[in-house]
Structure 1
Amino acid sequence: MRTLKVNGMHCGHCKAAVEEAAARVPGVSAPEVDLTARVLRYEESTPVDVEALKAAIRDTGFDPK
């Protein structure tokens, strides 16, 4: 399982937005946000372009690290 730190998430709506954005990136499967740790966890079904994943998350208004 891979992880990506995401700043700016505070609620269930934030969680859902980041999970939905991540799920649209090719290769990302089973995205799950841990709000307490402010981390996105995901599986890779194929290699994931991490920059594309970060861009998708930025487009939703959050700050991936």
Structure 2
Amino acid sequence: MQTTEFQVTGMTCGHCESAVRGEVSQVPGITDIEVSAQTGLLRVTTADAVDTAAVIAAVEEAGYEAATA
């Protein structure tokens, strides 16, 4: 298992967290997602190496900006 953290900007509430979680959950290979609007952190767990570009694209699809933390 591998865990990767991303810094997400623009999240302010639980709805924001849900939107990010919903989009990121569609990225293949992700087994667990933790997202916090309070800290601005997104943590994904994968069995293999994570496709960081796909995760960032998913966050952008939800309407926010992301970068590896």
Give TM-score, length-normalised by structure 1: 0.89
Amino acid at match of 1:5: Q
Correspondence for 1:46 among 45, 48, 52: 48
Alignment RMSD (CA, Å):
1.1
Match of 2:27, SS state, is coil
Counterpart check, 1:19 vs 2:17:
no
Q: Is the 8 A contact 2:4 2:50 kept in 1?
A: no
Amino acid at match of 2:61: D
The 2-side partners of 1:8 and 1:20 are apart by 16
Structure 2 unaligned blocks of 5 or more = none
Deviation at 1:47, TM superposition (A): 2.3
- Matched positions, count: 65
1:8 maps to which residue?
A: 10
Structure 1 unaligned blocks of 5 or more = none
The 1-side partners of 2:6 and 2:62 are apart by 15
Correspondence for 1:37 among 3, 26, 39: 39
Give TM-score, length-normalised by structure 2: 0.84
Match of 1:31, SS state, is strand
